[in-house]
Structure 1
Amino acid sequence: MSSELQVFRLPDLGEGLTEAELVNWLVAVGDQIKVDQPIAEVETAKSMVEVPSPYAGTVAKLHGQAGETLDVGKPLISIAPVGAAPAEPKAPAATDDAVSTGVVTDAEASAAAETYRTEEKAGSGNVLIGYGTPGGATGGRTRPRKGSVAVVDAAPEAPVAAPEAPMEPAVAGTRIPGKLSAVISPLVRKMARDHGVSLDAINGSGASGLIMRRDVEAAISAPEAPAAPSAPAEAAAPAAASGDLDGRTGLAVSARTPVRGVRKAVAANMTKSRTEIPEATVWVDVDATALLDMRAELKKRSPHDTPGLLALIARFVTAGLKKYPALNTRFETGADGSQEIVGFDGINLGFAAQTDRGLVVPSVRNAHQLSARELDAEIRRLTAVAREGKATPTELGSGTFTLNNYGVFGVDGSAAIINYPEVAMLGVGRIIDKPWVVNGELAVRKVTELTLAFDHRVCDGETAAGFLRYVADCIENPGGALADM
């Protein structure tokens, strides 16, 4: 039995995520583990995930500490195979020694991690089942178990065109057999697209000709001067600890909170939305008295399965999007600068949910096919899994339109930021008593404010106003609206 350590690298958790925070180890050095046994809990920008081991054996080394952020493709755990006595890894004198002992140098780990992430975007399939990259074939173990299952090494496929030089041992130890080319990570691809840089004209400086971020930066800055290799974002931040004096305000710094996980994802998404979407906002006050009265009557008849107000409004929203499908689209810009509006045959209705980990937007898939009661059940289920941190990337990233009930926080309205890459968001304010004219007379009614933020590139104000007025009319006359749906 070979005594070579098996190094399991942090797998791609799907949706283009490139890092995860190590929350907790579920095993310790010296433990005997089985295939598919959870070894660690990690928190991504999407959810909390248990990472299972693709190997059985004895835990030889844990690469990282709780609270540390790890890059996808970096070593997570080293395991001595079953029947082998785990030995202390020796400092390698050369690359071959490093591979034979299972020790990976920083340079090798960085190259392997970059190659690993690159291949994931080409669909290599080395991901957690349920968190897979699109178009990749998932090989290996698929037997059911509680939680996610790691894909183990698949049998080699037919060889592809070989690079000029043999693949580095560190890279070969982490990749699933498949296509290795100059495909780059989404972040680097976007940088090139945003600056009009043709990837075909770039000679990659990474392993096997991979195009790296520094290559695109050099192309952007040419011919003035080549760009220096990019430093990690963390390195650019001051290393000063709390208690230091802030140079701008002259006040002592009381705390420094790293932006990561869900907060980091939300910040990036909101920034992208504000940067790329020319949004406009329309709003209207709505008399919700009839809706509240109808729900109260339903609750008397069937107290245990009466849909909530959000589910009823969600039903009106899906009907409105069928009438005004322009708001259920996505605006895309191609690498060549071409633009198109992508429509969908169906509605995945997202809704904003506040959790201990921050604001997330789970989505009810095929919401247009569900009744108000079915919508209510799915909204409750998704809210529960989101607050537990167990929602999958698919549940959190597949929406086509978002409904935001910020009225639960006691506010009337909001100039909401659209949930990129969607093109519209409907907000619902609190329902309060207000003076309202009914049949020419002043009365006290239950009034709420609806606010629609929309991407002005996909439609004009007439479409947005038509949708908003339709939902408002449904709320004011819910019985007739539901009867027509």
Structure 2
Amino acid sequence: MIEPRVFLLPDLGEGLTEAELVSWHVAVGDEIAVDQPIAEVETAKSAVEVPSPYAGIVAELHGRPGETIDVGKPLISVTPLGSASVAAADDAAPSPTQPEVEPAETELGGSVAEPAASHPEAEAYREEEKAGSGNVLIGYGTPGGHGQARRTRAPKTAVALAEPAEAKPAEDDPTLLRTRVPGKLGAVISPLVRRMAREHGVDLGDISGSGDSGLIMRRDVEAALRTAAPAAEPDEAEPEAKRVEAPERPAESREGRDARTGLAIAARTPVRGVRKTVATNMARSRSEIPEATVWVDVDATALVELRQALKANGGEVPGLLAFIARFVTAGLKKYPELNTRIETADDGSQEIVAFDGINLGFAAQTDRGLVVPSVRGAEKLTARELDAEIRRLTQVARDGKATPAELGGGTFTLNNYGVFGVDGSAAIINHPEVGILGVGRIIDKPWVVNGALAVRKVTELTLTFDHRVCDGGTAGGFLRFVADAIENPTSLLADI
């Protein structure tokens, strides 16, 4: 009997460890080809179609629309077609000089990678890459994909059973151990172990893994939970009658009313996808970054008149955001402290990391929530080139087709909240960046010009910055630089 091949949800990149299954493009019993889209998933970064690395008949769909699937968990099982399965069986057959040993099966239908000089989890990942098509996710492929027939079972392994016959937990399965924790951690761990640590508030950076090469296993997290400070025991000398148990407050009554307010609950919306990422990132920014805010009103009349004059001459004219982006990149060159990031080492020491280049992020509102695409190498672009890239990234973000690379990697963020009709906002820094510049709406206001009142086009600029990397002098200098460029745009726009 031909065993189905199990395709695990691949590594999505950018530290993403899970995805929501939006819809299936295939059904059980369908015949599919290599690289045929089988499902649409939504990550915290974007919505992407997942192509199949295998050809054959769909045997099982592991999940329903709306469910969240961890990286490394089964997505779909495919039974190879006749000719492909024969070729795969020949490929998987052991040599005459080597005895055939049945592989150690895992809960995911895979097998333990054969022993080698390298780590077993790395071998397992390489074996899956060899079986892939080279096009696992848009922008994230596996090497060696040429559409050829692949082996339908993992290589035979000779594994010495040194431990008692005990069910091996899925989270210790090497086929799952192939994603890295973003940031300071270098140990490879299972998404399930990572979730367990997150749910119990365990800092993985404080754990020494007991697995090969310091691999963090489920037992390590459980040990950390056992050694955590236990709940205070009641004083044995205290009379039993004096001990008062805190009443348990029901979260919700059976009638569907909120126990705290007494109001009927109209709806419950799971926090996931982009909203979940925004919530987590903003909470982390507020808790970790000692931020400060400075702001200034700016006379944007000259900039508005410049655009109108360019329009009158015909041709494509950059938007106001592109002009301001051009001023921001020039300002960051002069004040590079705001184009940095703070990294914390395992021993608690910190470093300010400076960059040779600017990836300018800009906030874009979409139907899926607020996202921050970034213009790579923004300091090299003219205002027209910035405008074209901002428009392109905004469109792919709103279509839900932006790649994780396009929605990450920013070094400074520009936020044009003036489009919502507001004047100012003390924005939250987009962690792990150290600064964000907000631009309010441009409106007519009375303004003193050469000692006389006049009606001018005025906007408010607001800079929120990480006080660990610079002081008010640097922040104020950068803000004043951008403000002066808006008031006298021709000084910086010779290249437009």
Q: Under a length normalisation based on structure 1, what TM-score does the superposition of the two structures give?
A: 0.78
Q: Secondary structure in 2 aligned to 1:20?
A: strand
Q: Report if the CA contact (8 A) 2:41-2:50 is conserved.
A: yes
CA distance in 2, matches of 1:183, 1:269: 23
In structure 2, the CA distance between the partners of 1:434 and 1:190, relative to structure 1 (3 Å rule), is: farther
Residues 96-139 of structure 1: CA deviation (Å, up to 9, x unaligned): 8995xxxx75xx68999xxxxx959x98695945555xxxx943
AA partner of residue 211 (structure 1) = I
Match of 1:262 among 245, 260, 274: 274
CA shift for structure 1 position 211: 2.0
Matched, 1:382 2:386: no
Deviation readout 1:364-419 (Å, 9 max, x if unpaired): 00000000000000000000000000000011011000000000000000010000
Q: Which residue identity lines up with residue 215 of structure 1 in the other structure?
A: D
* Counterpart-to-counterpart distance in 1, 2:409 and 2:374: 7
Instruction: Using the TM superposition, give the Cα deviation of residue 75 of structure 1 relative to its aligned residue in structure 2, in angstroms.
Output: 1.2
How does 1:183-222 map onto structure 2 within 5 Å?
183-184=188-189, 187=194, 198-200=206-208, 202-203=209-210, 210-212=215-217, 215-216=220-221, 218-219=223-224, 222=227
Q: Which residue of 1 aligns with 2:77?
A: 78
For 1:450, the equivalent position in structure 2 comes to 461
Q: How does 1:50-449 map to 2 (within 5 A)?
A: 50-83=49-82, 99=105, 105=107, 128=136, 131-132=139-140, 138-141=142-145, 174=175, 183-184=188-189, 187=194, 198-200=206-208, 202-203=209-210, 210-212=215-217, 215-216=220-221, 218-219=223-224, 222=227, 224-225=229-230, 244-303=256-315, 305-449=316-460
Unaligned runs of 5+ in 1: 87-95, 113-117, 144-151, 227-237
Q: Aligned pair count?
A: 433
Distance 2:334 2:463 in 1: 16
1:48 aligns with 2:47: yes
Query: Would you say the 8 A contact 1:347–1:367 is kept in 2?
Result: yes
Letter in 1 for 2:362: F
Which structure would you say has the larger Rg?
A: 2
Answer whether contact 1:286 1:475 (CA < 8 A) is retained.
Answer: yes
- 1:352 and 1:362 in contact (8 A); partners too: yes
Q: C-alpha distance in 2, partners of 1:189/1:253? A: 30
Task: Report the 3-state secondary structure (helix = DSSP H, G, I; strand = E; otherwise coil) of the residue aligned with 1:12.
Answer: coil
Amino-acid identity (%): 66
Q: Choose 262-271 or 166-175, whichever is displaced more.
A: 166-175
**Offset at residue 27 of structure 1 (A):** 0.6
Query: Would you say the 8 A contact 1:278–1:455 is kept in 2?
Result: yes
Local SS of the residue matching 2:370: strand
Runs of 4+ in 1 over 3 A off after TM superposition: 96-99, 108-112, 122-132, 152-157, 161-179, 185-200, 207-210, 223-226, 238-243
Structure 1 counterpart of 2:115? none
Q: Matched residues in 2 for 1:123 and 1:341: separation? A: 34
CA gap of 1:109–1:462, structure 2 versus 1, over 3 A, is: farther
Q: 1:438 to 1:80 in 2, by over 3 A?
A: same
Equivalent position amino acid for 1:199 in 2: I
Q: Specify the code of the residue in structure 2 equivalent to 1:140.
A: G
Structure 1 position 215, deviation (Å): 2.7
Do the aligned partners of 1:139 and 1:153 also contact (CA within 8 Å) in 2? no
1:142 deviates by: 6.2
216-225 vs 411-420, greater mean Cα deviation: 216-225
Deviation at 1:203, TM superposition (A): 3.0
Instruction: Assess if the C-alpha contact under 8 Å between 1:140 and 1:153 holds in 2.
Output: no
> Structure 2: which 5+ runs fail to align?
86-101, 113-119, 130-134, 181-185, 232-249
Measure, in 2, the Cα distance between the counterparts of 1:199 and 1:110. Answer: 28
Q: Displacement, 1:219?
A: 2.7
Q: 1:189 to 1:338 in 2, by over 3 A?
A: farther
8 Å CA contact retained: 1:243, 1:254: no
- Alpha carbons of structure 1 residues 69 and 156: separation in structure 2 relative to 1, 3 Å: closer
* Change in CA separation of 1:48 and 1:129 when aligned onto 2, cut-off 3 Å: closer
Distance across 2 between alignment mates of 1:34 and 1:67: 25
Instruction: Note the aligned Cα RMSD (angstroms).
Output: 4.1
Q: CA deviation at 1:10?
A: 1.2
Is 1:482 matched with 2:489? no
Task: Report if aligned partners of 1:197, 1:220 keep a CA contact under 8 Å in 2.
Answer: no
